[in-house]
Amino acid sequence: KAGVTQTPRYLIKTRGQQVTLSCSPISGHRSVSWYQQTPGQGLQFLFEYFSETQRNKGNFPGRFSGRQFSNSRSEMNVSTLELGDSALYLCASSPREGYGYTFGSGTRLTVV
């Protein structure tokens, strides 16, 4: 069965630009979460979606946003990019609460 697919794998953007990252969860998984991973801060929770509704949001500025579509695919958007947004962005899906997550390989975003 296909895993969690994230596209693109690598991205280089300039400060001030915006970026959209995509995540296709495992078929049948309705919960999709996004995490930011940096060497200094580790893995930090961005937001979680379930059936197109954002149920939980981490402590990130409003420049970070996301959405989930009816087929459970999710996108996250970062506007007005800053150098500090350079990170590995990970998407994870889960069939329901209490179950472990399956993570994608991530999108490595570099802001220059």
Partner 1 sequence: TQLLEQSPQFLSIQEGENLTVYCNSSSVFSSLQWYRQEPGEGPVLLVTVVTGGEVKKLKRLTFQFGDARKDSSLHITAAQPGDTGLYLCAGVSNTGFQKLVFGTGTRLLVSP
By CB under 8 A, tell whether 44 contacts partner 1: yes
Region near partner 1 per CB under 8 A, out of 12-20, 66-74, 79-87, 104-112: 104-112
Region near partner 1 per CB under 8 A, out of 14-22, 62-70, 75-83, 89-97: 89-97
Select from 37, 23, 42, 31 the least CA-distant residue to 109: 37
Could you tell me the end-to-end alpha-carbon distance of the chain, in angstroms, rounded to an integer?
37
Q: Which two tokens stand for residue 49?
A: 């979606």
Alpha carbons 66 and 74: distance in angstroms, whole number: 7
By CB under 8 A, tell whether 35 contacts partner 1: yes
Q: What is the DSSP letter of 86?
A: -
By CB under 8 A, tell whether 25 contacts partner 1: no
By CB under 8 A, tell whether 48 contacts partner 1: yes
| SS3 category, 72 | coil
Residues at the site binding partner 1, with contacts judged by CB under 8 A: 4, 31, 33, 35, 42-45, 48, 50, 55-56, 58, 90, 92, 94, 97-106
